[in-house]
Amino acid sequence: MKKIKLLLVSLTTLSLMACNPGDEGSSQSDINSNPTSDSLTENDTSNEVSSEDSSEEESSEEETPLPKTLDEVVALVNASLDKSITSLSFKDFSSTEKRGNVKFADEGTLEQGIQEVKENTDLFMISKDANKNYEDYLIYKGFDSNFYYDINSNTTAEKYNLVENVADKNLEITLEDAKSKIENSSTYNLKWLIEKSKETFTSNSIIEGVNPLPDKDDQMMIVRDDNGGFTFSFDSISSLSSNTYHTVYKFDSENNLVSGSYYYYSWKSTNIDSESHKIIDSDQNPNSMIGRELSNIVYGEEESLNFDVSPYFISELSEVFVSTTYDSFRPDDGDKNKAEIGYTLDVYIVSYLPTTALDAKSFKVLSSDNEDVIRKSTSAYNADKFEAVASGIANVVVGDKFGLITKIVEVTVVEPPLSSFNFVFIPDSQKTFQVDESLIIQVNGSPAGANKVFTVEVSDPNVIEYEISEDYKSIKVTGVNPGTATITATATSDPSKIASMNLTIIEKIYEDFLIGTFTYTAIINNLTVVSTLTLNDDKTGSLEQVSIDHTSIYMSINSTATFNWSYNGEKVTFTNWIGYDTSGELYFSITGNPTLNADKTQLTFKTRSYDYMDDKYEIQMVFDLNV
Tell me how far apart the alpha carbons of residues 153 and 139 are, in angstroms, rounded to a whole number.
Answer: 6
| Whether residue 264 sits in one domain with residue 287 | yes
385 phi, psi to nearest 5 deg: -120, 170
Exposure of 8 by Cβ count < 10 A (0-12 exposed, 13-18 middle, 19+ buried)?
A: buried
CATH of the domain at 487: 2.60.40.1080
Which residue, 133, 165, 187, sits at the end of a domain?
187
What integer best gives the mean pLDDT of the chain? 85
Say whether pLDDT at 4 is over 80.
no
Q: Are residues 235 and 274 in the same domain?
A: yes
The pLDDT value recorded for residue 615 is 72
27: which residues sit within 8 A by CB, 6+ positions away?
36, 39, 41, 233, 246, 248, 261, 263
Q: Dihedral through CA 129, CA 130, CA 132, CA 133, nearest 10?
A: 70
Q: Is 470 inside a domain boundary?
A: yes
404: left (phi over 0), alpha (psi -120 to 50) or beta: alpha
* 209 within 8 A of 11, measured Cβ to Cβ: yes
Between 190-197 and 70-80, two packed helices, what is the crossing angle to 10 degrees? Answer: 160
Query: What was the pLDDT predicted at 328?
Result: 57
**155 and 137, same structural domain?**
yes
Mean pLDDT confidence for 258-278? 93
Report helix, strand or coil for 334. Answer: helix
Residue where a domain stops, chosen among 476, 506, 536:
506
* Mode of pairing for the β-strands spanning 527-535 and 516-524: antiparallel
Using omega within 30 degrees of 0 as the cis cutoff, is the peptide bond preceding 354 cis?
A: yes
Q: What is the pLDDT of residues 386-396, one digit of tens each?
A: 999 999 999 99
Q: Are residues 221 and 73 in the same domain?
A: yes
Residue 131 pLDDT: 65
Instruction: Give me the percent of the chain exceeding a pLDDT of 70.
Output: 85
Single-letter code of the amino acid located at 32: N
Examine the pLDDT at 51 and tell me if it is beyond 90.
no
Question: Is 492 found in the same domain as 581?
Answer: no
The answer to whether position 95 is within a domain reads: yes
Whether the predicted pLDDT of 63 surpasses 70: no
Residue type, 386: F
Per-residue pLDDT band for 557 (boundaries 50, 70, 90) equals low
Is residue 61 situated within a structural domain?
Answer: no
586 belongs to a structural domain: yes
The confidence score (pLDDT) of residue 121 equals 44
Q: What is the CATH number of the domain that holds 561?
A: 2.40.128
For residues 122 and 337, the model is more confident at 337
Same-domain status, 468 and 566: no
For the cut 50, the answer to whether the pLDDT of residue 2 exceeds it is: no
- Same domain, yes or no, for 524 and 615? yes
In terms of Cα–Cα distance, which of 586, 573, 508 is closest to 541? Answer: 573
Q: Tell me, yes or no, whether 597 and 522 share the same domain.
A: yes
Rounded to an integer, the average pLDDT of 107-131 is: 69
**384 lies in the same domain as 368:** yes
- Paired residues of 258 in beta bridges: none
Residue 364's identity, in one-letter code, is: K
Give CA torsion, residues 183, 189, 195, 198, to 10 deg. Answer: -160
Task: Kindly report whether the peptide bond that precedes residue 461 is cis, defined as omega within 30 degrees of 0.
Answer: no
Judge if 181 and 224 occupy the same domain: no
Q: What is the CA radius of gyration of the chain?
A: 44
Judge if 75 and 205 occupy the same domain: yes
What's the CA gap between 568 and 506, in Å, rounded?
Answer: 10
In DSSP terms, which residues pair with 230 in a beta bridge? 225, 251
Q: Which residues are CB-neighbours of 428 under 8 A, at least 6 positions away?
A: none
pLDDT of 428 over the 50 cut: yes
Query: Mean pLDDT across the stretch 86-96?
Result: 92
- Per-residue pLDDT for 44 more than 80? no
**47, pLDDT greater than 80:** no
Written as one letter, the residue type at 36 is T
47 located within any domain: no
Tell me if 335 is assigned to some domain.
no
Which pLDDT value is given to residue 331?
Answer: 57
Q: Is the dihedral of CA 354, 360, 365, 367 positive or negative?
A: negative
The boundaries of the domain holding residue 120 are 84-187
Where b means 16+ CB within 10 Å and e means fewer, 254-276 reads eebbbbbbbbbbebeeebbeeee
Please state the φ and ψ torsions of residue 200, each to the nearest 5 degrees.
Answer: -60, -35
Alpha carbons within 13 angstroms on the beta-carbon side of residue 152 total 6
Q: How confident is the model over 491-505, as pLDDT tens digits?
A: 999 999 999 999 999
624, β-bridge pairs? 602
Helix then strand then coil, % of the chain, to nearest 5: 10, 45, 45
Q: Per residue in 142-170, pLDDT tens?
A: 999 999 999 999 999 999 999 999 999 99
Q: What is the pLDDT of residue 197?
A: 95
Measured in whole angstroms, how far is the alpha carbon of residue 173 from the centre of its chain? 24
Cβ neighbours, 10 Å, residue 573: 12
User: Dihedral through CA 125, CA 130, CA 132, CA 138, nearest 10?
Assistant: -50
196 near 187, Cβ under 8 Å? no
Higher-pLDDT residue of 93, 526? 93
Instruction: Using pLDDT thresholds of 50, 70 and 90, give the confidence band for residue 329.
Output: low
Could you say which of 187, 209, 234 is where a domain stops? 187
Cα 559 from Cα 543, distance rounded (Å): 8
Count of helix runs (H) and strand runs (E) in the chain: 4, 39
For residues 387 and 396, give the distance between their C-alpha atoms in angstroms, rounded to a whole number.
11
Contact 275, 251 (CB under 8 A): no
Q: In whole angstroms, what is the distance from residue 523 CA to residue 104 CA?
A: 102
Task: Give the span between the Cα atoms of 156 and 150, in whole angstroms.
Answer: 8
Select the more confidently predicted residue: 204 or 519: 519
Give the number of other CB atoms < 10 A from CB of residue 191. Answer: 11
Q: Which residue has the higher pLDDT, 135 or 586?
A: 135
pLDDT confidence of residue 50: 31
Compute the distance between CA of residue 123 and CA of residue 86 in angstroms, rounded to an integer.
33
Total tally of structural domains belonging to the chain? 5
Q: What are the pLDDT digits (tens) for 560-614?
A: 999 999 998 889 999 999 998 877 777 889 988 899 999 999 999 999 887 666 7
Predicted pLDDT at 525: 73
Q: What are the CA-CA distances from residue 58 to residues 2, 5, 227, 579, 590 (Å)?
A: 5, 10, 15, 110, 115
pLDDT of 388: 95
Q: How many CB atoms lie within 10 A of CB 38?
A: 11
What is the model's pLDDT at position 122?
Answer: 45
- Residue 339 Rama label (left phi>0; alpha psi -120 to 50; beta): beta
Please check whether residue 303 lies inside any domain of the structure: no
Q: Which of 52-66, 197-211, 311-325, 355-369 has the lowest mean pLDDT?
A: 52-66
- Whether residues 500 and 557 share a domain: the answer is no
Closest among 110, 89, 108 to 100, alpha carbons compared:
89
Does residue 43 fall inside a structural domain? no
The pLDDT assigned to 311 comes to: 97
Q: Where are the alpha helices (DSSP H) in 60-186?
A: 70-80, 175-183
Q: What's the confidence (pLDDT) of residue 160?
A: 97
CA angle 236, 242, 245 (to 5 degrees): 30
In the prediction, which pLDDT does 200 show?
Answer: 94
Cβ atoms of 443 and 520 within 8 Å: the answer is no
Q: Which residues contact 247 (CB under 8 A, 6 or more apart)?
A: 197, 198, 200, 201, 232, 233, 234, 260, 261, 262, 263
Longest dimension (CA), the chain: 138
Q: How far is C-alpha 489 from the chain's CA centre?
A: 43
